[in-house]
Amino acid sequence: MSIVADSKSYIDAAFRSSRTNEAYLFMKNEYVLVDYAPRTRNDKVLNGPLFICHGYPSLGGTAFAEDGIDCAFGSHDRNVAFIFSGNLCAQIDYAPGTTNDKIIKGPMTISAMFPFFKWTRFENGVDAAFESTKQYEAYLFKDNQYALINYGSKSHLIAIRNIAQGFPSLKNTMFESGIDAAFASHRTNEAYLFKKDYYALINFAPGTTSDYIIGGVKKIRENWPALSSILPR
């Protein structure tokens, strides 16, 4: 007799919306749009849970809708985001508040979208990401490493480092070995990091190693009341 494991999924990917204090959270092939009410427990679900293919018709029939989104980050270009699934990625216009989304570029392999990732661990998949406050810069995470990139018209790799090296505040925390999902807050230099059923809000202090955790590492369901009936999937 075979036994199938009951795999609980929390947040697999996320990205900040162009609308203030709104973010998209992805769980396997579903997502919710939330008002995350920064630094409070007043979060609320604005839409969802919905299947990705229903909320984003342009992604129907792609790996992003079928297998789910592993990682995402918002662009400094309004209503644009990068999404990842396995070794694939795409640039999309997510058309907030509508179903008029469209794929701008892709789907294509990560190394085709970002050639500087060829022969690195990032070409096979990305775990989490969030955009910096510095124009067209983003942090992408894979296992215990992160890459700081410029994704503008002349995209290039800035650095690849261990998470604990670039973010000393995460040393000796669960996030030192990897991050499941992340999104940049609308508050300057702040980002939310997720792993299993925990999260942390950090000030990531771009260009320095003066980052710090705001309020400690906490349980998602106890501090995001609107998600308590949704997570885990």
Taking only the tens place, the pLDDT of each residue in 44-97 is 999 999 999 999 999 999 999 999 999 999 999 999 999 999 999 999 999 999
Predicted confidence at residue 9, as pLDDT, reads 84
Using DSSP, state whether 195 is helix, strand or coil.
strand
| Amino acid (1-letter code) at residue 183 | F
Predicted confidence at residue 1, as pLDDT, reads 43
Which tens digit of pLDDT belongs to each residue from 140-188? 999 999 999 999 999 999 999 999 999 999 999 999 999 999 999 999 9
Distances (CA, A) of 65 to 48, 85, 95, 110: 15, 9, 17, 17
Q: What is the CA radius of gyration of the chain?
A: 17
Predicted confidence at residue 8, as pLDDT, reads 78
Using DSSP, state whether 127 is helix, strand or coil.
coil
For 13-227, CATH number?
Answer: 2.110.10.10
Distances (CA, A) of 140 to 145, 166, 227: 9, 12, 25
The burial class, CB within 10 Å (0-12 / 13-18 / 19+), for 183 is: buried
As a whole number of angstroms, the distance between CA 1 and CA 24 comes to 40
State pTM to two decimals.
0.95
Using DSSP, state whether 83 is helix, strand or coil.
strand
Residues 153, 208, 205, 90: what is their CA dihedral angle, to the nearest 10 degrees?
30
Q: How confident is the model at residue 210 (pLDDT cuts 50, 70, 90)?
A: very high
Using DSSP, state whether 145 is helix, strand or coil.
strand
Q: Look over the chain and give the mean of its residue pLDDT values, rounded to a whole number.
A: 95
How many Cα atoms occupy the beta-carbon half-sphere of 95 within 13 Å?
Answer: 12
